[in-house]
Structure formats: C-alpha cells, structure tokens
Amino acid sequence: MNHFSYRNGELHAEDVAIGEIASAVGTPLYCYSSATLERHFRVFEAALPKGTLIAYAVKANGNLAVIRTLARLGAGADIVSAGELKRALAAGIPASKIVFSGVGKTREEMAQALVAGIFQFNVESEEELEVLNEVALSKSQRAAVSIRVNPDVDARTHAKISTGKAENKFGIGWDRAKDAYARAALLSGIEVVGVAVHIGSQITELGPFREAFAKVAELVGALRAAGHKISRIDLGGGLGVPYALEDAPPLPDAYGDVVRDAVGDLQAQLIVEPGRLITANAGVLISRVTYVKSGDERRFIILDAGMNDLIRPAMYDARHDIVPVIEARDSQRRVYDVVGPVCESADLFARDRELPPIAAGDLVAILSAGAYGAVQASSYNARALVPEVLVRGRHFAVTRPRLSVEDMMAREIMPEWLH
Ligand code: LLP
C-alpha cells in the first residue's frame, strides 16, 4: 500500500497535489511519501521475529531525509561504502546498528567504519578477512565479523541483480565457508560473530529464500559444533515489490514465516537488509511531457525525464507503471512508447504502453521509483541532476535541490595550459 492517490481528479502524494510540487520545483523530480516509508518499515518489522535488526539498505535510496525518517523508527543501516557510512551517521543511524557489506571494502573504508564503531562487517572473501584483521590490529581493535556465504541458490530474478549463485562475485563459496571460519578464528583482530547471506534483489517467490536460509541454518549448526560462537544471522534483503497491478510478490508476513521456520529457533540475533521493499513504492518520478511525436510506425511520448534520471528500464528491463497526474476522464486508450530526451535508443521508459490520451505539457508520474532511482541518477547529456522532495501530510520539502549545470561546471577546473 502507498500514499499516492487521485483526489478530485489529481494525483496527490499524501495531502499534497503533485501539480503543486511540480510548479514549485520544476520537472523532472523525485517525490517520496513519509507515510509510505513508515508504513513499509512498520509492516516489515511486525512480520519479523521480535528484536530483528532492520538494517535499511542505504543503496536503495540514500537521501538523508529518507534515511532519517527510517532512523526515527529505529532502523539500522546496511552500507556498502564509506560514503554510505557518512550518510547513515549524518542521518542519525547509530553506529551500533550499522552493517558494512560489499565485496570491495578498502583499508581506508574499514578504518573509518572501525573508528565509527559499527555493529559488524559482512566479509566476502578470505583476502578481505586478512586485510580487515590487519586494519583492526593497527587500531588495537577487534572487528565483529559475519562471513557472507554464497549458498549457490538461484534467486530466479533478473541476472543483473542475482547474487547468490556460485558464479556471482559475492560471498565465500559454500565449500570453503568452514575453512574461512577456521582461519578467521585464528586472527586476533577478528571476532567472528555470525553468518550472512544475500541472494539477490526483487525476488518474487519464497522458494529461493527458503532454500538459502535452510542452508544457513545448517551451516550455523555445523559451525557451532566446530566451536565457533555464532550469535548473529544476517539474512540480507531482496524481498520483491509489486511494480504493476497484477504483480503479487509474497507478503512480508509470509516472508516472516519463512524466516521463523528456518532460523527462528537458533537463539541468534537476526538481521535483515531490506532496501527496495521500504522505498520503491514510496517514491515516484514526476515528469512533464515535452512532445507527443507521431513516427511512421509508432507514437512517442517524449518526457523531460530521461534514462539519466531513472536507469532501471534501460538497465534491468524494469517495468514501471506510468500514469497521468490529471486523472483521465475517458476510458479510451492509445498505445505509446514513452521515452526520454537522451541520445540513446535505450532511453525508453515503456514500449507499447496503453495510456489515456496524453498531450504536450501534461504531467506524468512514473511509479515505484523510490528505490534505485535517484541514487543511480547521473548528469549524462549535461542534464541537471534530478531533485528530490519529501512529503509529510500537507507539507513538502525539497530535500535535494536540483544540481544545475552551472553548479556542476563550477566544480570543474580548467588546466593551466588551457587558460
Ligand atoms: N543487502 C545487500 C548485500 C545487497 O547487495 C542489496 C542489494 C540489499 C541488501 C538490498 O536489496 P533489496 O532489499 O533492495 O532487494 N539497482 C538494482 C538493484 C540492485 C540491488 C543490489 N543489492 C535495481 O534497480 O533493480
């Protein structure tokens, strides 16, 4: 459920008319709903065993106001860089609730996270384990570590966001996991605390989770039998969301049951790392139609938003529903290709999409764009970096103003020999 709906024929974010935001901020823009963020967090929290740490995956939407909204509800953070560490801390997430994931943590990033005093590192290779040990010892610390294991489970999602197969770069191979724990136990800068797993994103069936969590449970048993103190289990993120009306991914309660069944009795602190589930349907990308162009074969709606603002359709063949901001009066539908202005044929938001008649100057909303939208935006084609707005009830605030082309040019330096 989300808080974007038509009122008096106009799309609203909570109690604010989208047209009002578009007039004030200009288009394109991202608009997030606080009530939706909060609802998604609470529903997920309620579905999981009590005491589970919900480490919000900052990569899905790193806007400081979005993170703070979640921090106020008690969220932790799953980070993958020193940049995300800074964002999470600045937004008010306590270091004691921060989990550091990622295959390529540098020494500098490890040092910063140790100084901050984060909850744990999810280590993804034996090589990383050795480096983290060195960095921790150089700071006279012990790093709390969960080893991310690769369960070789097919998440049955898009290949580019599948992470739990043996062929993927993520985690320590299943067969080597026990050796890695044995090695970790010998390193005095490392305190092994748990097992971590994350098999992919936008997963729309429970089977892959069930399979992966069962393997994790078995490993926890084996590791404990071998004398390791495994007090935490991190199950990663990945629960899919509906992108279209007909999509029906598993509900949080059903996912919670899978978690309880698999690891509920293991007397461990559970951790989850949801990103998309919290933010995807809490955000929309608002754009104005620049032209409606009739080609020889197709009719194109050309938006002022492009693939640089939302790359998901181009990158993952993602489907996003698109709706007019002013509700269509007649039920007549036409078939359009909805595209952006960027000079690439991949700059296509929807192909052969049935939409009500749309004219130049109309506003449209690209739905379910709150996760992996603004964070993956760029200024390709020298386009201004898209702004972000957060709504709360009757109020809205620009939380990241548009970064103008002048702002961006001002940060470039002309070499002396070109003066
Ligand atoms: N934990 C780890 C270690 C991850 O790698 C990810 C996502 C998450 C948690 C959060 O997963 P979620 O709950 O959001 O599914 N840009 C792509 C998605 C990339 C996901 C990367 N990792 C997209 O737009 O579909």
Query: Over the stretch 165-183, which tens digit does the pLDDT of each residue have?
Result: 878 888 898 889 999 999 9
Q: Which of 229, 254, 272 is the last residue of a domain?
A: 272
Question: ∠ at Cα 99 (97, 102), nearest 5°?
Answer: 165
296 and 249 together in one domain: no
302 and 232 together in one domain: no
Q: Which of 272, 307, 332 is the last residue of a domain?
A: 272
Angstrom distances, CA of residue 17 to CA of 105, 250, 362, 399: 43, 31, 14, 18
In a domain, 198, yes or no: yes
Q: In the prediction, which pLDDT does 67 show?
A: 99
258 and 290 together in one domain: no
Q: Domain total for the chain?
A: 2
Percentages helix, strand, coil for the chain, rounded to the nearest 5?
A: 35, 25, 40
Distance CA(197)–CA(148), nearest Å, equals: 5
Atom of ligand 1 nearest to the CA of 275: 14
Question: Quick count: other Cβ atoms within 10 Å of Cβ 417?
Answer: 5
In a domain, 360, yes or no: yes
127 and 110 together in one domain: yes
Length of the chain: 419
Q: Which of 272, 298, 320 is the last residue of a domain?
A: 272
Q: Is 237 in the pocket of ligand 1 (CB under 6 A)?
A: yes
234 and 356 together in one domain: no
Distance CA(13)–CA(343), nearest Å, equals: 31
Rg from Cα positions in the chain: 23
Residue 213 CA to ligand 1 centre (angstroms): 18
In a domain, 37, yes or no: no
257 and 296 together in one domain: no
State pLDDT tens for residues 86-135: 999 999 999 999 999 999 999 999 999 999 999 999 999 999 999 999 99
Q: Is 372 in the pocket of ligand 1 (CB under 6 A)?
A: yes
Q: pTM of whole model > 0.95?
A: yes
Residue 364 CA to ligand 1 centre (angstroms): 27
**Are the C-beta atoms of 36 and 49 separated by less than 8 Å?**
no
Which of 56, 201, 309, 349 has the most ligand 1 atoms within 8 A of CB, as the residue to mutate? Answer: 201
Residue 320 CA to ligand 1 centre (angstroms): 17
Q: Quick one: what percent of the chain has pLDDT higher than 90?
A: 92
109 and 240 together in one domain: yes
Q: Is 343 a catalytic residue?
A: yes
**Are the C-beta atoms of 239 and 203 separated by less than 8 Å?**
yes
205 and 284 together in one domain: no
State pLDDT tens for residues 205-245: 999 999 999 999 999 999 999 999 999 999 999 999 999 98
State pLDDT tens for residues 325-367: 999 987 899 999 999 999 999 999 999 999 999 999 999 999 9
Beta carbons within 8 Å of 160's beta carbon, 6+ residues apart: 315, 316
Distance CA(298)–CA(296), nearest Å, equals: 6
Residue-number span of the structural domain to which 398 is assigned: 4-31+280-409
Q: Is 40 in the pocket of ligand 1 (CB under 6 A)?
A: no
314 and 248 together in one domain: no
